[in-house]
Structure 1
Amino acid sequence: MLIETAGVGDPAYKQCLPREPESARIARHLTASALHTWGLIEAKDSAAAVVTELVSNTVRHARRDTIQVTVTRTGERLVRIAVVDFSPEFPEARNAHQLGEAGRGLAIVAALCDGRWGTDPLRWGKRVWAELAVPEAKPDE
Structure 2
Amino acid sequence: MSPKKKRKTRQPRPGRRGGSAPAAPGAGVGRTPVVVEEPPPRWPLLVWGALVVVWVLGSLSSFMGVLASAGVMPEDVTDATRREGAWALLWLLVFALLTPLVGVVVAAVLRRRVAAALFGCALLLSGGVLWLIAPFGEVWAALRAGLAL
Q: Could you state the TM-score of these two structures normalised by the residue count of structure 1? A: 0.28
**The structure with more strand, counted as a fraction of residues:** 1
* Structure with the largest fraction of helix: 2
Larger Rg: 2
